[in-house]
Structure formats: C-alpha cells, structure tokens
Amino acid sequence: MSTNPRGQGRKYYSLSQRVDQISPSGIRKFFDLLASIEGVISLGVGEPDFATPWHICEVAIESLGKGYTMYTSNLGMPELRQELSRYLKANYNLEYDADSELLITVGVSEALDLAMRAILDPGDEIIMPDPCYVSYDPCVVLAGGIPIMVPTNEENSFEIGAADIEARITSRTKAILIGYPANPTGAVMSRDKLAEIAKVAQRHRLLVISDEIYAKLVYGVEHTCFATLPRMKEKTVLLGGFSKAYAMTGWRIGYAAAPREIIAAMTKIHQYTMMCAPTMGQVAAIEALRAGEESAAEMVKDYNRRRLIMVKGLCDIGLSCFEPKGAFYAFPSIKCTGMTSEEFAERLLTEEKVAVVPGSAFGEYGEGYVRCCYATSLAEIEEALARMKRFVDKYRKG
C-alpha cells in the first residue's frame, strides 16, 4: 500500500470501484491451490484434454514460414471471415456479410466483453441465468451494467424461463444473455423454449446475446442457434469460438456475428484494445473450418462415452445428477453431504485429491452442486469416481 508522497496520508492510488465490485474467478482460485498438490485428478478446468488436431497445427506452423507473423485486419483475416460466413450459411442457413457483420476476437471471452461494452450505458441491465458461466456477471459489471439474475434449477432442467425473464424486465433492461449448451450445467434448451424467449425479447425490444461456444457439443439432441429463430437474426449477437469443439483453447480465437451497427461498435473497442486476434490462431481457425469437422465429431463421440460413465458413476455414488445434454460438464447435487459446495470441493481436493469446481462459483443458485468436467481420460474419470465414492460414503448424512 502506497501513501501520498507529500505525506497527506491519503492512499497514493485507488482502484476502480467497478473492479472492486467483482471477485476473482472461483475457478482460478481453485487451480492455484490444485497446482500445489501432487497426484490430483482434475475434473476442474473446462477444457478439452485432446491436443489440437495435427492438421490444424501443421497449417499454422507452415504459415510462420510464409510470413504470417504480422497484424491482420482489425476485423480478422478476410479469408477467415469468408470461411466463417460460409460455415454459418451451411450450418444454420444464416447469411452474414463477411465485411460488416462478422468480427474475429480473442476467444469468446473478448467477444463477450466487447458486446457488453458496445451496448451498455451505466445502470443498464442485462438479464441472465443463474448459475451461469463465471465471466457473464463480471463482464456486465465492468462495462458499467447491472446483471439481473434469473434463478434456474434442477426442476426446470437449468433452463431460463421466458416468463421469469419477462418478470424482471424494466425500463433499463438492454439485453438477455444466454449460453446454451450451458456451462456449468450441461443444459441444452429446445427450439420451442428458445422461441418463447425470442417472443419476450421482441415484445420488449431487447437484444439477445447468445454464447454458443458449445454448439457442437450436444448428445442426442439438436443445438438451436438463437439467430435462426424467426426475425431474431437482426436482434441477436451470436458468439462462437474454436476453443471447445476443435480443442483450440490456447489459440484464442472466437467471433461475433451480429447486425452491422453492433459489429462496428464492437470493432471500435477491439481496434483500440486488441488490434486483432492472434494471426497464427486465425490461420488455424481457417483450417478448422475447412477440414476440422471429422476430428471435432470424433471428439464429441468420445465426450459422449465419458458423459454416460460420469453421470452413471455420480448417480451410483448417490450424488443425484441432472442429465447434461451438452458441453462437457456434469453438475451433481452434493446436498446429501450437508457441506457447502466450496467446503465439499476443498475437502475432496485435500482428502482425496480430486478437483471439482464449487457450484457457488457460478452464482447463488449453483450452491449445493459441484461442476465435474469430463473432458479427461476414462481411466481418470473412473479413478476420480472411486475416490469420490469413498469421500461421499464417509460424509453422507442420513
């Protein structure tokens, strides 16, 4: 702590109140602890255990020799935007102009931040589900907005209800932020239920920001791209990325597809803060879009096998588990132990060396649950389940 050099006793600097308002990520805190313990099985970090498919790495490596080591256009490489435009047309029959309606970002993380900063004025409200991805609430707060949480629970399959959203709309509401398939619950919403949200959005002239980073990771159900709902393309900011489906978390590439005015506003912020997304990552993303489908589908098949084993294993232990239909997370209830989710996660880590994330890291309504990421080997999942059984048997109440 530093004081004013003129000795007036005042603190030399003060931090932004907005930053003071947010807490460090509950996930990261855990991983710092985990790094100090040996022999831990991690069901913690939400990232694929697969390496990026080699053909994608190879194209990126070759690009260095070809001189792709400089800035790209602020919007992202034209070839990538064109490829993405083709991809969105082929997969969703949506037409986005590659020069004005698409922006390549540093992961969906940056796209989320830009979207919030582009639309929010101080005091504006964004409605979102609770529990939800750890960044949603802080991104809104850092952009000067107010997150308005809609509780979701196991009984409503962790789906955000249109009526619950409508009940929270005020004159300050700017947008609805959703992310299905969901982190941390694995919930996927049906087209019909999303259409009800679309109707509420239209009735109240709200934007919908739809984080679809897990779009490809669905099991036995279909993913609905929110922008494909009737008359919603021009009212939706679609966020997508390469981290999860193509096992490319470290390449840091995501995108936003939205009406041109919104993309222009997001680009203004992006050009002054980021300049552009990493060039090598963009080259890799082009290859992923052109030739990555097969490897992505293989990984999804594998996640599905692990999902079934993880969910059955948790239920057998007696941790009741909502069946996740998407992403790569199971979200079992730990209420039978009488512990808080943070206590459960800390003790499981220190006593049995299994890392899970406390549900409370994802919001108030995540309490009573923990997030178990099954993007890890079957052998590790099975060993983690055996350790968790020992732990739960020891502490189960009643």
Residues in touch with ligand PLP (CB under 6 A): 46, 107-109, 133, 179, 183, 211, 213, 241, 243, 249, 254
Residue 318: CB minimum distance to ligand PLP, A: 28
For residues 186 and 385, which CB has a smaller minimum distance to ligand PLP in the complex? Answer: 186
Phi then psi for 35, rounded to 5 degrees?
-60, -20
Q: Indicate the SS3 state at residue 148.
A: strand
For residues 181 and 339, which CB has a smaller minimum distance to ligand PLP in the complex? Answer: 181
Residues whose CB is less than 8 angstroms from the CB of residue 93 and which lie 6 or more positions away in sequence, other chains included? 228
Residue nearest ligand PLP (C-beta atom):
107
For residues 215 and 339, which CB has a smaller minimum distance to ligand PLP in the complex? Answer: 215
For residues 337 and 360, which CB has a smaller minimum distance to ligand PLP in the complex? Answer: 360
Q: Categorise residue 157: left if φ over 0, alpha if ψ from -120 to 50, beta otherwise.
A: left
Residue 17: CB minimum distance to ligand PLP, A: 26
For residues 179 and 292, which CB has a smaller minimum distance to ligand PLP in the complex? Answer: 179
Beta-bridge partner residues of 209? 177, 237
Residue 212: CB minimum distance to ligand PLP, A: 9
Residue 109: CB minimum distance to ligand PLP, A: 3
C-beta of residue 254 within 8 angstroms of C-beta of residue 107: yes
**Cβ of 272: how many Cβ atoms within 10 Å?**
9
For residues 241 and 324, which CB has a smaller minimum distance to ligand PLP in the complex? Answer: 241
Residues whose CB is less than 8 angstroms from the CB of residue 331 and which lie 6 or more positions away in sequence, other chains included? 158, 184, 185, 186, 321, 322, 324, 359, 369, 370, 371, 372
For the record, the structure tokens of 124 come out as 């504006």
For the record, the structure tokens of 4 come out as 């004013």
Residue 250: CB minimum distance to ligand PLP, A: 9
Residue 396: CB minimum distance to ligand PLP, A: 31
